[in-house]
Structure 1
Amino acid sequence: MKPPVLSRLTWAWLGSLALFAGAAGVMVYSARTGEGPGRIALPVDRIEIFARNAPPAPGSEERIEAPVLRQPPAGEIKLAQTAPGEDSEDGLVLIYPGGDDLRTDDEDDLLYEDDYLDDESDDVRYSADDVIITIPGAKKATPVAAASLGPSIRPIPDPDSAMLRVTALGNTPRVAADGRRPVSYYARPYEGSRSKPRVAVIVGGLGLNAAVTERAIDDLPPEVSLSFAPYAKNLDFWTKKARDAGHEVLIELPMEGYGVNAQALGAAGLLTSRAPEENLQRLDWLMARFGGYFAATNYMGAKFSADADALGPVLDRLKNSGVGYIDDTGAASRSAGGLPIATVTRMIPAAADDADLRDVKRELAALENAAKRDGFALGKTYAYAATIDEIAVWARGLEQKGIAQAPASALLRTSAATR
């Protein structure tokens, strides 16, 4: 008789069934006898159980209590024995509770808390089933309050509808019915010393590059004010992230400069060649790009700021909206007319790479000197990774130099009407 001819596929199926049957047999045998591979369990509320070789007795409940960290009272419990060359001293004891039977062992070199002491002798009494780990010389950690690792993070409030005016181009800021103004409501409070020289820094051009924007928000101290470009995307997201990190924010207004192509300012650029009504319409669109800013600041704008007839209506609109203005041209203060305003002391160059950092360091040092001379100073720059890194390092050393870091809003002043 010849065995039947089977295909390779059939032999494969038969082999798989045989392996499965063998594995099932091993599992059944292990379950009935308790032998076989060790088991590992990691329960959350119990001590870890490793490699259990025998099952618990029928009807019993296996349980291992969590370890108890104890420190013996000083002077009451000592090491019975110490290792050669070591001094006897108190330590920490980890006691894994076991059974209830107690015994004494004068020669044991482990520590126990006074609850384990025999009232009639100095012998140490403990459970035979206890598992004890001693750490000679260690002391129980004393809980401490979490120390501050940097400036306190106080989020800036989200936009309040009571301070928003609905226009055809979007919601723009306004003074609330109860008198609240965005210039103070969305400003970061300054709680530093007013007797020290104060220095503030604005980093602008944010929102256009996601990686650089996130770097500025996360790496710079919250006292650094952040200015966002109006043409950037996701401005509500980025400005909220900045406010949540404690940074006060500004909106940038593109303005006409000398020798600058007007087309480079975008469709909403403010130009001296446009009528005031046209510029105000564009200003409304710019101011509606996002909310929660305390002030506006210029992008370019030397020519526009020098023209009082062009700049005046823009600053009036800002004042009536309850926001401030920060100018880096030095010309806007003549047209402020009661608007909270600050003028930039030093423009910090934007370092595209490490080779330009010498200029950044020079201007930061000049900013410190101006603050010491005048009592305050305001710097402004545009976002580049190398510049952000350098400002972050520089800011950490200001306190040691006797200079207080302040948000830009702390340097705003209300100018007298000059027009």
Structure 2
Amino acid sequence: MLEHDKPVTRAWVLHPELKSDHSRRAPVPALAEAVALAAALPDLDVVGAEIVRLPKLHAGKLFGKGKIAELKDRLTAADVELVLVDGPVTPVQQRNLEKDWGVKLLDRTGLILEIFSDRARTSEGVLQVEMAALSYQRTRLVRAWTHLERQRGGLGFVGGPGETQIEADRRAIDDQLVRLRRQLEKVGKTRALHRASRAKVPFPIVALVGYTNAGKSTLFNMLTGADVLAKDMLFATLDPTMRKITLPTGDEVIMSDTVGFISDLPTELVAAFRATLEEVLDADLILHIRDISHDQTEEQARDVMAILQKLGVAENAPLIEVWNKVDLLQGEAYESRVNQAARTEDLFAVSALNGEGMAALLAAIPEKLKDPRAEQVLTLTFAEGRKRAWLFEAGIVTDDQQTEDGYRMTVLWTALQQERFNRL
């Protein structure tokens, strides 16, 4: 069945706001993001969304009796089939609310898993999604695990056959997890080979990272001429895409587009998608793409940097911050951002849509890749001709002398180039 032929599910989004919890994001933009998440699924029609302020969380049903009854009236009147709760919902709360309201219910993790499933394209991406989904499913005890065998088009939480809430067979799920882990190990070995072969290519890797929907894929397409899905929706890209490009300076680099980050992404999902961020771990330079027109751009930037720090790359690879979507700013806001970027080192204001500011950014990339470099003397045998050729291709040899046993070479290289050379 084609995507546009799928039956559309009428959905309602709820953002629970605890009065006592001041650590969470502001409720209005948080609800807007939750609605955007829902809109990322083609077979959902969001017919309503609201913030539900709570004095406290109720263990059994999340909301109090009065609020549950009030919401039921609204959901029934709007003919809602699915409720999306922007936050964690326990299996007990889910079962009780579904029974009271007569609808299906997904929490934030379940919704993100649906989107991941819908977007994953590479074999590794699909396996990672299925493993994360099965681990999540195992705690629910209210869904049929067999839905998860499908490779694409959703995980069976939304729409599709067999929606009866049956207790999952844990042994069957565990067997399936073991099978998936084995498959993933094979794919991981293949990916490791790909990474090793990339190490032989002396071109630096430039990774685009940023909050989901910041415009990374649009920027990637503009730079590389690639046809990566670039839509105004959250999680449009899930699998990393890599392309070699020649910069206006003549320097060649490998550009890598990556999955968008998001706040409150459950830990198990970060772990499941660590593989899609492997290119970031290998990067010589990180471009942090920000949607500078977004009301929550500062919070989004903090979330991205927090994830980079968890991955351990924020301190290692040099970073350029790119303020994208300046074309959406007007008047003083536009002037302020552009002027601030012009005055600040490693900061560029651009529009991936109309090309504004791109020339300055492209000129800065090779400059940033040049430092810091350290000089080192290497001794290579005659048998290590491939390593010697790699050093010359990388353009980092400052002196080369033949000896009785091989070559004495002086190189000026970055720490990442040295690491890549050591993997040869």
Larger helix share, 1 or 2:
2
Identify which of structures 1 and 2 has the higher relative contact order when contacts are C-alpha pairs closer than 8 Å and 6+ apart.
Answer: 1
**Fold shared per TM-score above 0.5:** no
**Which structure has the larger Rg?**
1
